[in-house]
Amino acid sequence: MKENENKDGQGNMPQNKVDENSKDRQLDSFRQDNTGKYMTTDQGVRINHTDDSLKAGSRGPTLMEDFHFREKMTHFDHESMPERVVHARGSGAHGYFQPYDDSLKEFTKAKFLTSPGTKTPVFVRFSTVVGSRGSADSVRDVRGFATKFYTEEGNYDLVGNNMPVFFIQDANKFADLVHAIKPMPDNEMPQASAAHDTFWDFASLMPEINHMIMWVLSDRAIPRSFRMMEGFGVHTFRLINEAGKGSFVKFHWRPKLGAHSLVWDEAQKLAGKDPDWLRRDLWEAIEMGDYPEFELSVQIVPEEDEFKYDFDLLDATKIIPEELVPLKPVGLMTLTRNPDNFYAETEQVAFHPGNLVPGIDVTNDPLLQGRLFSYIDTQINRFSSANFAELPINRPVVPVNNHQGAGFMRQTIGKGKVNYWPNSLGGGCPMMAPENQGAFVHYMEKVEGHKIRARSQSFNDHYSQATLFWNSMTDVEKQHIVNAAHFELGKVETKEIQERMVGHFSKISMDLAKRVAEGIGVEVPKNFDQKSTGNYENNEGSKKMQQGKSVKESPAVSMERNKVETVKSRKVAILVEDGFDCNELTQVRQALMDAGAHVKIVSKLLGMRKASNGEKVKIDKNHVTTGSIMYDAVYIPDGEQSIAALMKEGDALHFISEAFKHCKTIATSGHGIALLERAFVMGVDFAGKDSGEVKSHKGIITAGNDADADEFAAMFLDAIKKHRHWDREEKSMVPA
């Protein structure tokens, strides 16, 4: 190799420059549009007939020499790869990440986090954990939130979840966890659900799981949308700056739309009405230009403060309360494009928490350490090859130069005689890069100790943060946790398992334990003392933490206390039949659209509906294909004939009463007020039908015939911003 062949004028190796479109440009050569093209075989031979196999006579046997049939059928037979053991059902999107400024330079040399002028391409995959690829989106489950950054220094993967903690502390228990939570081995039931004996048997015998159980029973486990879901790196990682100094870090994604959830009844119904609910919501939002935005924030702990708290930073079942270490916003990720092909991109994307770039490294978290092996092994199993990194969606946007070669489905065509290091025949190339030219250098950390199967004693507190989570919830959120426990444990057939779980709840909160026990028909065990299953070793770190900093509650973990109020991208259903008030509908619909909401007009049948003034509107959805569970709010315009027809439609009455049951905003005027009363909308102070007043009560907006239309629309929009109106959640009398 010539001395200056790949160097700039100062003798430095050139830096790789990327921008937000670099991944798209790289993928362009792999994209294919068949429009106007002749069909060919995989070898490029044109085909003149693909409907019949080659036979010995029209009724004779198929001939072995039919290469087109054999190629076509063989490819079909092998189109499906093994699905992921966990996170099988996923949805993905392309976008970019851009840091706000260079303030993280103090802590890391990772360029994509410290170069505000750079838009780094990303691909994000959201997923459920437990269910198969064919399961429903809206099940109660943890959601994966994995981001692949195509940086100028190579690919970096932040492989996290929508909850900041995990079920277990050591990866050696991961197989047991997944075996327990998956369908039971004898009958392969239930699908995509933890509500069965084997999971709760495992959970009741593993005290370390208690904090995560509280998150899973909360509304976090049934997100309204991937766009309205927080993401967390879960583990404590390490940032390294140019001077080689390390700091501990936790990563957080915060959606700009805020974190919002479904209600459980709604989630169950969506699983049947539209099992692709979250996938469809993400796809349609991007297609309509409602690009999801997530702010990346970090919690940074100096190395010297490692033992400052009453929990271990390396314990994946613990959070760092934001009241102790506030979040530092560092940049914004925007998802701008849907995949061109689900299989080639969303299904074949391969993540690995060990895909690191200079400036970011792992820690000794025993769960993270196990993931560093598990992910690469899983990908090799799925792809039947170690060459999965060569697939277009997994390729970095910078050159790859190494001596990896051969293997199933190898795509790179290596040139030259040399495929080993060291070498002289290849000029010593590819060369070793010095650290000042972007080489990854592992963080230097002193490690010593006996070979032992044990955990640090500092991991042995399994209840404090579960209690912190419970204490941090609003009354509404607490009741939802209790309701979820009633459902989950109500499906458990073994009383001893139910009693053990209630025993754990009694160590979290006696109030929680009593309310759960009452719902599943068991007693709260007296003096419950479930011994930990772990083998814990006393160590210096645990002694230092005994008097460390702690908090009794953390409002930051409550969705209700941190609700973002917005109408943007909310979905509103308008119920009409012939004879509706066209002027009112037009005015309210325009106000909704101006605020960024998406409106669908719903009627008994598709086609056109005629207003009282003779104008017509197109119906977007009929009652057979949609339901209130698919909307954030409902509006019924006035019109005596239209309201009279809706009064006689069971589907319309159900639509309204169900929206009322799910605490959604409902608005109507004039004759529509009687429709609300007919639909069992109870305990609400309605406006007078013939008055000029507008009333907003418990998320129900009503207006008299002579009311101000602008005031009505403004109050409707303000109510939609609240997302839910929990003050009417006592709904046992609502028949929906």
In this predicted model, what pLDDT tens digit does every residue of 379-393 receive, in sequence order?
999 999 999 999 999
Using alpha carbons, list the distances in angstroms from residue 2 to 7, 14, 182, 419, 427.
10, 15, 58, 20, 9
Sign of the C-alpha dihedral computed for residues 471, 473, 479 and 480 taken in this order: negative
Of the listed ranges 82-86, 529-533, 563-567, 629-633, the one predicted with least confidence = 529-533
Mean pLDDT of 420-428: 90
Helix axes 495-508, 510-520, angle to 10 degrees: 160
Average pLDDT, the chain: 92
493 phi and psi angles, rounded to 5 deg: -95, -10
Q: Of 155, 161, 387, 394, which one is the catalytic site residue? A: 161
The tens digit of pLDDT for each residue in 485-534 reads 999 999 999 999 999 999 999 999 999 999 999 999 999 999 898 877 77
The tens digit of pLDDT for each residue in 473-487 reads 999 999 999 999 999
User: How far apart are alpha carbons 425 and 423 in whole angstroms?
Assistant: 6
User: How far apart are alpha carbons 577 and 371 in whole angstroms?
Assistant: 56
2 has a pLDDT exceeding 90: no
The tens digit of pLDDT for each residue in 106-126 reads 999 999 999 999 999 999 999
Any residues with CB less than 8 A from the CB of 102 and at least 6 apart, and which?
A: 114, 115, 116
Residue with tokens 């700009």: 256
Within the chain, all domains assigned CATH 3.40.50.880 are found at 565-728
- The percentage of the chain sitting over the pLDDT mark of 70, rounded to a whole number, equals 96
Residue 70: its pLDDT value, please? 85
* Catalytic status, residue 161: yes
Q: Is the pLDDT higher at 268 or at 37? A: 268
Residue 8: its pLDDT value, please? 42
Residue 354: its pLDDT value, please? 93
257 has a pLDDT exceeding 80: yes
Residue 13: its pLDDT value, please? 45
As given in the structure block, the two tokens for residue 730 are 């006592």
409 has a pLDDT exceeding 80: yes
Mean pLDDT of 170-186: 93
Q: Of 68, 87, 196, 462, which one is the catalytic site residue? A: 87
User: How far apart are alpha carbons 66 and 607 in whole angstroms?
Assistant: 49
List 334's β-bridge partners, or say none. 96, 293
**Which helix or strand (DSSP H or E) is residue 736 part of?**
none
Residue 1: its pLDDT value, please? 30
Nearest CA to 524 among 535, 543, 509, 536? Answer: 509
Any residues with CB less than 8 A from the CB of 188 and at least 6 apart, and which?
A: none
Nearest CA to 716 among 611, 532, 574, 538? Answer: 574
What homologous superfamily does CATH list for 90-125+132-170+224-390? Catalase core domain (2.40.180.10)
HSE of 207 in the Cβ direction (CA atoms, 13 Å)?
Answer: 20
Name the pTM for this structure: 0.93
User: How far apart are alpha carbons 233 and 166 in whole angstroms?
Assistant: 11
User: How far apart are alpha carbons 641 and 88 in whole angstroms?
Assistant: 50
Residue 545: its pLDDT value, please? 67
Residue 63: its pLDDT value, please? 84
- The percentage of the chain sitting over the pLDDT mark of 90, rounded to a whole number, equals 73
Q: Is the pLDDT higher at 682 or at 718? A: 718
Residues 326/365, Cβ–Cβ less than 8 Å: no
Residue 414: its pLDDT value, please? 87
Mean pLDDT of 568-579: 98
- Bond from prior residue into 190 cis (ω within 30 degrees of 0): yes
Q: Is the pLDDT higher at 422 or at 212? A: 212
Of the listed ranges 21-25, 102-106, 213-217, 291-295, the one predicted with least confidence = 21-25
The alpha carbon of 690 is separated from its chain's Cα centroid by a whole number of angstroms, namely 47
Residue 614: its pLDDT value, please? 96
Within 45-122, where are the H helices?
67-77, 111-114
Within the chain, all domains assigned CATH 2.40.180.10 are found at 90-125+132-170+224-390
The tens digit of pLDDT for each residue in 47-95 reads 888 888 888 888 888 888 988 888 887 888 888 889 999 999 999 999 9
- The architecture that CATH gives domain 565-728 is 3-Layer(aba) Sandwich (3.40)
The tens digit of pLDDT for each residue in 299-335 reads 999 999 999 999 999 999 999 999 999 999 999 999 9
541 has a pLDDT exceeding 70: no
